[in-house]
Amino acid sequence: MKTRKLLKDFCKYVYYAGIGNYWSENMYPETVLYKMYTTVSFSIYTTMIFLENLAALFGDFPEVEKNSANMFFAIHNIVLTKMALLMYHKESIRKLNFEMAAVGEKFEEEHVMKRQYLKVKIGILLYVVSVYLSLGAYGVESTRRAYAEGVPFYTVVTYLPYYDDDSTIASFFRVFFYVTWLYMMLPMMSADCLPIAHLVMLAFKFMTLCHHYDRIREEFDHDVLTLNKKRAVEKLKAGFLEGILMHQQLLHLADEIHRVFGIIMSLQVCESSAVAVLLLLRLALSPHMDLTNAFMTYTFVCSLFILLALNLWNAGEITYQASLLSGSMFYSGWYLCEMEEHGKDIRHFVLISCAQAQKPLILKAFGVQELSYETFVSVARMTYSIFAVFYQRGE
């Protein structure tokens, strides 16, 4: 249940999704065959998205297909950008994974690591299930319309084949692009979930550090009774200094996460909020949908809000857990130590470290918008307000 194992397992999934080896060791080899597989798959993704762009810009489609083309024009370009950024920062992410696994490893507690594992697993599982429910609903709705209304089978709308082309080859490519879309979700969700996993783990690292300061106080009280006070004070000092060092490393990790994943997380926030508005507008303007169409839209909105929540809630959790650190430092038992020379007195370290820990640790999208619980509530309110206004106008 160590952070190292969780990261290693997650990197294994990313490797099989076709993006490469992001673990610090070469235990997932990128062979020539693997590189060929990655190149071919991304070439297919890029070609499909290029044809989607042409469909949105120049295609002549009915209203339903045109709306889908415009929506996926926005979504899939952002998706491709996120995957490209992930591959661009590969070496930095490998180094980040090594540091994330190593920092505070000896302080990790089993019950805390179980909570961390469950939080990552449940959050990502909810996101994956909601995404594939939506994609499955797209396939079912497109099949229903093809049989009931005689229109071409469309999920992702591409410029080629043309809308009025009902040949076998055209049908084959439409189904092929749908299957490609299903498979493209694997590397896409890797790009989405890798930053989320790091946010969760960093929050739990701060929690582990708080527990470390609580533990050295308990050990100090015990050592005063079983050892001489001088040795107990030396042990308290050593533990406090270890905590200071871990805190500095965590601040460095926070900066690295922001540097490596900052643009990806910012794009995720923009993607989730903007596309959720578009989908809710579709619901507002077309209130009388059939069951599969409504299910498709609601699950898509749900997946976007889950992605938004996983980013903003976990970034906010880092801010919250970091804010608890100064209290844990202050009550770690330093005031029970006797005064010493200024250079050796633990009070000097406590003053500096508590002042540093009181500075809020806040991640921001594009360096402007805070990633926090409050931001999630604001975005959710804004999205619902836009939906309510257009729904009332539709009424």
Which residue type, as a one-letter code, is found at position 135?
L
Q: Which two tokens stand for residue 84?
A: 């490209």
Sequential pLDDT tens for the chain (395 residues): 789 999 999 999 999 999 999 998 888 889 999 999 999 999 999 999 999 999 999 998 988 888 888 889 988 999 999 999 999 999 999 999 999 999 999 999 999 999 999 999 999 999 999 999 999 999 998 998 899 888 899 899 999 999 989 899 999 999 999 999 999 999 999 999 999 999 999 999 999 999 999 999 898 888 877 777 788 888 888 999 999 999 999 999 999 999 999 999 999 888 888 788 777 777 766 666 777 888 888 888 899 899 999 999 999 999 999 999 999 999 988 877 776 665 567 788 888 899 999 999 999 887 788 899 998 998 888 888 877 777 776 66
Instruction: Report the C-alpha gap between 144 and 44 in whole angstroms.
Output: 27
In what helix (H) or strand (E) does residue 380 lie, and over which residues does it extend? Answer: helix 373-394
Is the sign of the CA dihedral 260, 263, 264, 268 positive or negative? Answer: positive
Q: Count the neighbouring beta carbons within 10 Å of the beta carbon of residue 183.
A: 15
Are 349 and 242 a contacting pair, CB within 8 Å?
Answer: no
Are 322 and 253 a contacting pair, CB within 8 Å?
Answer: no
> What residue ranges do the domains of the chain occupy?
3-394
Model pTM score: 0.93
380: phi then psi, degrees, rounded to nearest 5: -65, -40
* Token pair 């690295």: residue: 256
34: phi then psi, degrees, rounded to nearest 5: -65, -40
Which residue type, as a one-letter code, is found at position 236?
L
Which residue type, as a one-letter code, is found at position 112?
V
pLDDT at 383 (0 to 100): 81
User: Dihedral, CA atoms, 205, 210, 214, 217, nearest 10 degrees?
Assistant: 100
Q: Which residues pair with 370 in a beta bridge?
A: 364
pLDDT at 3 (0 to 100): 94
Q: Which two tokens stand for residue 215?
A: 């533990």
Instruction: Report the C-alpha gap between 370 and 359 in whole angstroms.
Output: 15
Instruction: Report the C-alpha gap between 218 and 325 in whole angstroms.
Output: 17
* Token pair 């619901």: residue: 283
Q: Calculate the CA 154 to chain-centre distance.
A: 29
209: phi then psi, degrees, rounded to nearest 5: -65, -40
Q: Count the neighbouring beta carbons within 10 Å of the beta carbon of residue 160.
A: 13
* Token pair 């498979």: residue: 183
Q: Count the neighbouring beta carbons within 10 Å of the beta carbon of residue 391.
A: 16
